[in-house]
Structure 1
Amino acid sequence: MDHTDRARLREAQQQFSSENTYLNTATHGLTPHRSRLALERHTHEVATGRFSPGAVDSVIDDARAAYARLAGASADRVAVGTHTSQFAGTIAASLPPGSEVLLARDEFTSVAFPFLARQAHGVRVREVPLEQLPEEVGPATTLVAVAAAQSATGALAPVEDLVTACADHGARLMLDTSQSAGWLPVPAGVDFLVCSTYKWLLGTRGAAFLTGTAEALDTLEPLAPGWYAGAEPWNALYGGPLRLAEGARRLDLAPVWSAWIGLAPALDLLNEVGIPTVHAHDTALGDRFRTAMGLAEAGSAIVSLPVPEGAAERLAEAGIAAATRDGRLRVSFHLYNTEDDVDLLVKTLSAAR
């Protein structure tokens, strides 16, 4: 990371005012000042009768374009919604009976459940260890669905190997980037990307994206199209005929306006810093913590480890926000964290032993 990158990172860090040592982005990211101000203006407009829903369309367009930059896609290949599982469900519903889906064992259920629910419709699902996914892809495989970074552990999926394996066998790859978009670059060639934005993308809950290759997106049909999927949304409020938008916008779901009003400024902030810079910063903090705890470096912003009984309470008393997942402590580091945060965490855990 050069001097310019560090300067951009330091400037971005001024956008946050955590009142504790916040190491829980994998649960929910912090809201930047610029997003908070936008949300406060929105709340005031709603309270005073000055809110105009149509005015949010341009904000959503800005967020769509900003996310497209982050994901390396074009904006016309980005659909907007509210939750990852809605888009995973749309993909699952496109699979014909007899399709085989590979999942990572112990995958987050918003990825797994939409496909497991299709078993009653003839879809076969196999759950295999994360690291074995590429070698398990075969001629019978229709789709691999996996999170780029595992929610419970922070383990990184072998994405590049999966892209190659799926291409070799004519299968598609769906990648959930809810725990990685915002810090982990995405390789080209992924058929579907689904992402909730309230974690590493620093939004508030209620916004999600779907993007992918044009060929893969063309195979999807809207599962529950509403007025916002219309070619002209504000002229698609009543009656037939069906008049959906072209491209990925036909898959849009009606927006939670406040979520998009807060998200657009946050995405701009991440683009200003640059994902390579955020990636270098976040993973350096994660590996600093792993090294201090006697673990091998893993290049992930999420770290999971067993801790003694009472350690979680000791962290809370020290003002450190973390999470417990699958019986283990989970900490996560983002652009607003520093080496001092890591050192305080290590000191507090060492005292708890």
Structure 2
Amino acid sequence: MVATLPSSPSAIDARAAFTGGRGYLAACTVGLPSVATQRALRADLDASAAGHPDLAAYSAAVERSRALFAALVGIGAERVAIGSQVSVATGAVATALADGAEVLVPEGEFSSLVLPFVHAGRGIRVRTAPLDELAAHVTPATSLVAFSIVQSATGEVADAVAISDAAARCGALTLCDATQAVGWLPVDASAFDAVICHAYKWLCAPRGVSFLALSDRLMARMSPTSAGWYAGDDPWSSCYGPDIDFAPDARRFDLSPAWQAFVGAAPALELFASLDAADAYAHTTGLAAAFRDGLGLAGPARPSAIVTWDDPDGTDLARLTTAGITASGRAGRARVAFHVFNDAEDVELALTALGR
């Protein structure tokens, strides 16, 4: 399930692409803008303020971002729809389900991947199971398995191969949320029927840029219920009235793009597409493993760039914050994340702040 990308600069070299990062251990909350993203956004803001917004450049940034994300997850751009939120993309996938369908999700899954099914109506039922047992809970009655390949609250990496194999045996569709993965964990979108990714975390794009990668069999069952002018084969000829020609591929599920966000997203995605995926994985998970060792935490079943531990009263999170380290807390746990702009010094700073 690892997408193959061209050999390129190391993740360690990528630190030079960012102006910040020291003590920032919260890519799982929001990524940092690269120098190239900052420049692109400032140039667009200056041009717009001077009365010269460039609509053609906005459209080009959207298509460049689509193509780069497709390359990152190993599929063609014609299979990728653009949007702005995970929940909206999840709702689009829900249109493919028959009345009374069963959706299987992990316990404690991120709500944007669950609520659209819970409130879809039509008798659609949501069943939960522990993430590490999810594959064993897929049955012939399961229509769709929806899961995050990396859990937001815990950083746990799902056994995507086992889940996909179980779904295939039972004829179920698969929906993978890769928001907490793409950018450090190689993901092959062709292994799933749908992959959703919001790019403002590990891909360091502005918030408001998300992608939905679709298999042919899922695309054929979905309805473009949120269609607007950008779902047309030629968006600029699809601005008025009900009679438009929908795009023949995944673009018919496009949402009207937040233009400035895509201006910043294109150089961010360019950066991550230029990195060696295996190197970025080794760099981020290696830092996380060193931090885990320093805390005396057991290693996870599958390596993760996110480390979480019990912190019910927020004491450890407060220690990190007091030391000037940006971290986060979720579900009674402290949470840190190591990205390409981090290094061993960040590990030492965090361990020192925690008195280790």
**1:242 and 2:244 aligned:** yes
**1:214 and 2:210 aligned:** no
**1:328 and 2:333 aligned:** yes
TM-score (norm 2): 0.94
Partner residue in 2 for 1:305:
309
Higher alpha-carbon deviation: 197-206 or 301-310 = 301-310
Question: Does the Cα contact within 8 Å between 1:20 and 1:319 map onto a contact in 2?
Answer: no
Question: Does the Cα contact within 8 Å between 2:86 and 2:198 map onto a contact in 1?
Answer: yes
% identical equivalent positions: 38
The alpha-carbon distance between structure 1 residues 294 and 51, as it changes in their structure 2 partners (threshold 3 A), is same
Q: Partner amino acid for 1:195?
A: C
The alpha-carbon distance between structure 1 residues 6 and 191, as it changes in their structure 2 partners (threshold 3 A), is closer
For residues 13 and 61 of structure 2, what CA distance do their matches in structure 1 show?
24
**1:253 and 2:255 aligned:** yes
**1:160 and 2:161 aligned:** yes
- Select 1:15's aligned residue among 5, 13, 17: 17
Question: Does the Cα contact within 8 Å between 2:233 and 2:245 map onto a contact in 1?
Answer: yes
Question: Does the Cα contact within 8 Å between 1:20 and 1:321 map onto a contact in 2?
Answer: no
The alpha-carbon distance between structure 1 residues 261 and 283, as it changes in their structure 2 partners (threshold 3 A), is same
More helix by share: 1
Unpaired runs of at least 5, structure 2 = 1-6
For residues 53 and 206 of structure 2, what CA distance do their matches in structure 1 show?
19
Q: Partner amino acid for 2:319?
A: R
Question: Does the Cα contact within 8 Å between 1:192 and 1:217 map onto a contact in 2?
Answer: no
Question: Does the Cα contact within 8 Å between 2:314 and 2:329 map onto a contact in 1?
Answer: no
For residues 15 and 186 of structure 1, what CA distance do their matches in structure 2 show?
23
The alpha-carbon distance between structure 1 residues 296 and 19, as it changes in their structure 2 partners (threshold 3 A), is closer
Q: Partner amino acid for 1:283?
A: T
- Select 1:293's aligned residue among 292, 295, 309: 295
SS at match of 1:304: strand
Partner residue in 2 for 1:339:
344
Cα deviations across residues 195-232 of structure 1 (Å, max 9, x unaligned)?
10000011010010000322222221112100111111
For residues 56 and 76 of structure 1, what CA distance do their matches in structure 2 show?
19
The alpha-carbon distance between structure 1 residues 282 and 49, as it changes in their structure 2 partners (threshold 3 A), is same
For residues 93 and 112 of structure 2, what CA distance do their matches in structure 1 show?
13
**1:177 and 2:182 aligned:** no
SS at match of 2:206: coil
Partner residue in 2 for 1:115:
117
Q: CA deviation at 1:315?
A: 1.3
**1:315 and 2:320 aligned:** yes
Q: Partner amino acid for 1:14?
A: A
Question: Which of structure 1's runs of 4+ aligned residues deviate more than 6 A?
Answer: none
For residues 111 and 216 of structure 1, what CA distance do their matches in structure 2 show?
17
For residues 8 and 20 of structure 1, what CA distance do their matches in structure 2 show?
18
Question: Does the Cα contact within 8 Å between 1:189 and 1:213 map onto a contact in 2?
Answer: no
The within-5 A match list for 1:1-353 is 8-18=10-20, 20-118=22-120, 120-187=121-188, 188-298=190-300, 299-307=303-311, 310-350=315-355
Q: Partner amino acid for 1:319?
A: G
- How many residue pairs get aligned? The number is 347
SS at match of 2:134: helix
Q: Partner amino acid for 1:194?
A: I
For residues 255 and 37 of structure 2, what CA distance do their matches in structure 1 show?
22
Cα deviations across residues 62-84 of structure 1 (Å, max 9, x unaligned)?
11111011011101101001111
Q: Partner amino acid for 1:345?
A: A
Q: Partner amino acid for 1:257?
A: W
Unpaired runs of at least 5, structure 1 = none
Q: CA deviation at 1:313?
A: 2.2
Q: CA deviation at 1:6?
A: 9.5
